[in-house]
């Protein structure tokens, strides 16, 4: 997730600097490949890089960009080269993380906060209202009325931009919360199966770490770029990056020190695994349906995660048989 955020931040920064979309994608891809070569972390980084290359390459063919298609193509390519990677925990966790975001998290956000979040653009333009949904246009009209009323008490012309900024922050926090929650319940099954752990503190940790990661990446890029011209100019963004890194590290250490963070769970039984996979597929299928059906899919996925993390399996005893177990 953090690698995806870093790649998205790089392309977004280039677009903000008014670099063309095609050129921004090419530069982003070059930077990501350079990052993969520099870090030499291994297969997870190259899988993410391959998915990004396919996603950005779709615009060269004037095709609609789809992360699900990019995931499928990247996974198929890796399986053709080495079919055994399908049974590796790293491969499964990498693709499941992205799949949860794209197939469950994003559709939920598209039905809830994102229309209103996008509706905060050009808030003072009434012409932009006609291109939006009726409920979003009404939302913008209400904000203008609230902003106009507040100007009588506060004064100034910054009232409406200030309201928009506060709402953007709130919507961003809500989106981080939803994505983090979806990933936490969706990863309960593989975490229990491979690592015998329940990630019960992942949600509050992500609420702090994910926004700070965006600050860290932007400040780091600015510090490196400024360092080529003047070390004095690089000190300010470097300080911001250092503070963000310290807070991220402190957050992880603090939440990791909680006793509940080391919740151990047994290996799920076959029936639990099948039910967990069924709940995951159900959530993906229903995510783009009506909000009520999408909510039902999320409830099923959450219930399966709670079952995996809290309900111990029934011990199996065989009378007349001596059993010896060894912890290694």
Helical (H) or strand (E) element with 65: none
Q: pTM of the entire structure? A: 0.75
CB 201 within 8 A of CB 258: yes
Structure tokens at 66: 């789809």
pLDDT by residue, tens only, the chain of 328 residues: 434 444 444 444 444 445 566 676 677 778 777 777 776 666 667 777 777 777 777 666 655 556 666 667 777 777 777 788 778 887 788 788 888 888 898 888 988 899 999 899 888 888 888 888 899 999 999 998 888 888 777 766 667 888 888 999 899 889 888 988 898 899 999 998 888 888 778 778 888 888 888 788 788 878 888 888 888 888 999 999 999 999 999 988 888 888 777 788 888 888 888 999 999 999 999 988 888 888 899 999 999 998 888 877 666 667 778 877 766 5
Distances in Å between the Cα of 140 and the Cα atoms of 119, 153, 190, 193, 278 are: 7, 21, 43, 47, 40
d(CA 271, CA 281): 15
Q: Is 191 exposed, middle or buried (0-12, 13-18, 19+ CB in 10 A)?
A: buried
Distances in Å between the Cα of 280 and the Cα atoms of 103, 182, 304 are: 10, 10, 9
For the chain, what are the domain ranges?
Answer: 1-87
DSSP one-letter string for 161-194: HHHHHHHHHHHHHHHHHHHHHHHHHHTHHHIIII
DSSP one-letter string for 203-270: HHHHHHHHHHHHHHHHHHHHHHHHHTT-HHHHHHHHHHHHHHHHHHHHHHHHHHHSGGGGEE-PPPPH
In sequence order, the β-bridge partners of residue 264 are 197
Question: What's the confidence (pLDDT) of residue 327?
Answer: 63
What is the signed CA dihedral for 103, 108, 109, 110, rounded to 10 degrees?
80
d(CA 46, CA 81): 14
d(CA 328, CA 84): 25
């Amino acid at each position: 997730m953090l690698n995806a955020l870093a790649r998205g931040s790089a392309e977004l920064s280039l677009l903000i600097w008014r670099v063309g979309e095609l050129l921004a994608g090419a530069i982003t891809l070059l930077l990501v490949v350079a990052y993969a070569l520099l870090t030499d972390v291994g297969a997870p980084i190259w899988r993410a890089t391959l998915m990004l290359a396919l996603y950005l390459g779709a615009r060269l063919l004037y095709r609609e960009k789809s992360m699900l298609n990019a995931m499928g193509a990247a996974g198929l390519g890796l399986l053709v080269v080495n079919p055994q990677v399908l049974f590796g925990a790293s491969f499964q966790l990498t693709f499941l993380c992205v799949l949860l975001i794209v197939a469950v998290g994003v559709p939920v956000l598209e039905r809830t906060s994102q229309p209103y979040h996008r509706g905060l653009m050009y808030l003072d333009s009434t012409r932009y209202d006609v291109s939006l949904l009726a409920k979003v246009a009404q939302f913008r009209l209400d904000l203008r009325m609230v902003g106009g009323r507040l100007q009588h008490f506060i004064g100034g012309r910054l009232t409406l931009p200030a309201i928009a900024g506060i709402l953007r922050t709130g919507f961003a926090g809500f989106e981080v919360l939803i994505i983090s929650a979806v990933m936490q319940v969706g990863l309960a099954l593989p975490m229990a199966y491979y690592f015998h752990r329940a990630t019960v503190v992942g949600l509050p940790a992500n609420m702090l770490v994910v926004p700070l990661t965006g600050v860290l990446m932007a400040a780091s890029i600015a510090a490196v770029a400024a360092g080529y011209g003047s070390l004095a100019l690089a000190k300010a963004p470097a300080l911001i990056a250092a503070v963000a890194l310290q807070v991220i590290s402190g957050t992880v250490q603090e939440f990791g020190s909680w006793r509940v963070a080391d919740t151990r769970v047994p290996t799920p039984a076959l029936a639990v695994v099948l039910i967990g996979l069924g709940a995951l597929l159900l959530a993906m299928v229903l995510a783009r349906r009506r909000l009520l059906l999408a909510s039902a899919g999320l409830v099923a996925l959450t219930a399966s995660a709670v079952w995996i993390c809290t309900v111990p399996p029934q011990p199996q005893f065989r009378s007349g048989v001596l059993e010896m177990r060894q912890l290694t």
